[in-house]
């Protein structure tokens, strides 16, 4: 499953709309039911409306009725065509927190099909605030 997610994430890099940073990001999000939704970063001339790849994937999935996620794979490509590990920004970590068990959600950072690191959301967002805190 990890290999499939990495492949799908790399496949979504071509849709990245990133003319300002020239930094492409894509994500593949796995639902509890086994479906994979992809997303890319979508930049904006006013800069702050930019949406990260992870949130694009989450919002696509939630807007189609999905609410629980098991894993997300994140990949990137810089202006020179290099791929490096790309950790999710704080806002995306918080958005993921809403729809997952932080101890279980796997965040897969991939450089390529063979080199990847896996973290839980709880590791990346310790003591995160979620629906259960309300």
Instruction: For ligand THU, give the closer residue by CB, 92 or 97.
Output: 92
Catalytic residue among 32, 43, 54, 77, which? 54
Out of 50, 59, 119, 128, point to the residue binding ligand THU (CB under 6 A): 50
- Give helix 53-62 / helix 90-98 axis angle, nearest 10°: 20
If you compute the radius of gyration of the chain from its CA atoms, what whole number of angstroms results?
14
Binding flags for ligand THU, 2-41, as an x/- string (CB under 6 A) = ----------------x--x-x-x---------------x
Instruction: For ligand THU, give the closer residue by CB, 38 or 54.
Output: 54
Q: What are phi and psi of 123, to 5 degrees?
A: -70, -35
Residue whose tokens read 């999905």: 66
Q: Does 52 bind ligand THU (CB under 6 A)?
A: yes
Q: Does 85 bind ligand THU (CB under 6 A)?
A: no
To the query of whether residue 54 is one of the catalytic residues in this protein, the response is yes
Q: Count how many Cα atoms sit within 13 Å of the Cα of residue 105 in the half-sphere of its side chain.
A: 25
Q: Does 43 bind ligand THU (CB under 6 A)?
A: yes
Contact set with ligand THU (CB under 6 A): 18, 21, 23, 25, 41, 43, 50, 52-54, 88-89, 92
User: Annotated active-site positions, please?
Assistant: 54
């Amino acid at each position: 499953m990890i290999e499939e997610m990495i492949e799908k994430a790399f496949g979504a890099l071509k849709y990245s709309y990133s003319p300002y940073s020239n930094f492409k990001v894509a994500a593949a999000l796995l639902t509890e039911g086994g479906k994979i939704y992809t997303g890319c970063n979508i930049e904006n001339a006013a800069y702050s409306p930019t949406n990260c790849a992870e949130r694009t994937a989450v919002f696509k999935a939630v807007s189609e009725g999905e609410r629980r996620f098991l894993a997300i794979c994140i990949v990137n490509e810089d202006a020179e065509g290099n791929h490096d590990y790309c950790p999710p920004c704080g806002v995306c970590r918080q958005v993921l927190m809403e729809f997952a068990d932080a101890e279980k959600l796997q965040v897969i950072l991939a450089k390529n099909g063979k080199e990847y690191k896996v973290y839980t959301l709880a590791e990346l967002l310790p003591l995160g605030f979620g629906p259960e805190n309300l």
